[in-house]
Amino acid sequence: MERKVKLYYFPVSYYSQKACIALEEMGVAYESVLIDIHGSKPQKEAWYLRLNPNGTVPTLQDGDVIVTESEDIVTHVGKGSQLVPDVNTKYGQEVAKWRKTINAVSIETITMGTVFNPELSCSGFKAPKSVLNREKVKASFQAQLDECKQLMEKNPDLRKEYEAKINKLQWRLQTYGDKSKITPALDNLESLFDQLEQQLTKMAAGQSPNQWLCGPHFTAADINLCITLGRLDLLGLAERYHSDTKRPRVHEYWRRAQMRPSINRVTVHAIRNTMRAMFGQSVRKTLPVLGGLLAVGLAAGLAVYFAQKRYVQ
């Protein structure tokens, strides 16, 4: 029987990228379903909360199996392969250690905290202001909060799930504008990047120059590191943590990683992918009468034009 894999995701989402890269690295064919995490639907709709009670992305549906945490998705997809080596081996334990270490980074606090406090960015956001905009994000959080309250009344069986989302949204609105709660997360990254520099230096000593974080193979630990480096790049924070003269091993690692097909497609071009996907979804909803090849061709052509002219800068 043919394996049917479906991924509910949002292209610019840090955790969605983790799942997408794992699927691409493993060569798994899958259907992607766009879930707009900044809009009002469908992330908070009852059907999605019944699939993933946390109402987050990504969610993987592999036949009858549902996996809702990005780390678990990577393990599910790559267990026993070079991507997720056996944890009963020394190599597998090393990969698991680095996965856990990097996964502990407070990426949402760093991301939203920098958006709410743009002066924390070193070189400015590598995305249009219409995407990473403090007032727009605040308004989005408030709109989501209001809608969750309405949906909770319509779906009493999901009251617990909606209350959790309401509490999370209220916490975000109260926390991310307070710079004193954001700077510790940014400062804590310095220690992690010192460890990464030491690890990559150790890997390079007496070995091939093209070593990854734990050895010669690209692993789940590298996925975590690459999407973290990509996020710092997007936020204009990369130069704080690495450059040709500051942690040069990390800097060279990221330069090389960006040329890897899965990283280039999923992380380097995350903003472009998001705008294409959202524009394509909009066309499918608003131009059903075109149908067939005309609609597909028009959507693809306009999406490319739209992304290049406005969102690839």
Could you read off the pLDDT of 147-204 as tens digits, one per residue? 999 999 999 999 999 999 999 999 999 999 999 999 999 999 999 999 999 999 999 9
Per-residue pLDDT, averaged over 248-255, amounts to: 98
Residue 127 pLDDT level (bands cut at 50, 70, 90): confident
8 Å CB contact between 287 and 280: no
**Rounded CA gap, 82 and 52, in Å?**
29
Judge contact between 273 and 11, C-beta under 8 A.
Answer: yes
Mean pLDDT (whole number) for 129-151: 87
* 131 residue type, one letter: V
Of 45-54, 277-286, 295-304, give the range with the top mean pLDDT.
45-54
- Residue from 132, 129, 8, 115 nearest 61 by CA: 8
pLDDT band at 133; cut points 50, 70, 90? confident
Integer Cα distance of 313 and 172 in angstroms: 29
Q: Which residues contact 147 (CB under 8 A, 6 or more apart)?
A: 40, 44
Contact predicate 188/107, CB 8 Å: no
State yes or no: pLDDT of 308 exceeds 60: no
Of 298, 57, 75, 95, residue with least CA distance to 215: 95
- Name, in order, each residue with C-beta under 8 angstroms of 138's C-beta and a sequence gap of 6 or more: 116, 173
Position 301 scores a pLDDT of 52
Residue 307's pLDDT band, with cuts at 50, 70 and 90, is very low
Which of 34-43, 46-55, 141-150, 156-165 is least confident?
A: 34-43
Mark residue 291 as left, alpha or beta (left: phi above 0; alpha: psi -120 to 50; beta: remaining).
left
116 pLDDT exceeds 70?
yes
Of 57 and 294, which is predicted with more confidence?
Answer: 57
Q: With a cut of 60, say whether residue 298 has pLDDT above it.
A: no
Q: Which residues pair with 61 in a beta bridge?
A: 6, 66
Q: How far apart are CA 211 and CA 181, in angstroms?
A: 36
